[in-house]
Amino acid sequence: MSIISFRQRVYTIAQQIPKGKVATYGQLAKMAGSPRAARAVGMSMKCNPDASIIPCHRVVASNGRLVGYAFGGIQTKKQKLLNEGVAFIKDTVDLNVSQWRVTI
């Protein structure tokens, strides 16, 4: 799988994450067919061509922590998620409540 097709697949999946939910980098990697490519998902999110279409703010670390956000920093990412109804425990997303649950 080429890096471009992987990246496009990640973007297509990320577009499906509903408001009020988050997915982890590893979850997207698995859904895109490369379960060990969580870092590549992170790079794809960093290179997101249009954050208004591809909601990269809805992608978080496997422990619910907010890491990196190229469109205003982590505080902006947290505020966007709070505005969408994502549940937090301090600065970490409560994955028990807000993780996007899909069957692969």
Distance, in Å, from the CA atom of 18 to the CA atom of 58, rounded to the nearest integer, reads: 9
Residue 82 lies in a domain: yes
Residues designated catalytic: 56
Which pLDDT belongs to residue 82?
Answer: 98
The pLDDT profile of the chain, 104 residues, written as one tens digit per residue, is: 566 699 999 999 999 999 999 999 999 999 999 999 999 999 999 999 999 999 999 999 999 999 988 888 999 999 999 999 999 999 999 999 999 998 65
Residue 94 lies in a domain: yes
Domain count, the chain: 1
pTM: 0.92
Q: 87-92 — which CB contacts under 8 Å span 24+ positions?
A: 89/64, 91/65, 91/66, 92/63, 92/64, 92/65, 92/66
- Domain interval for residue 17: 3-98
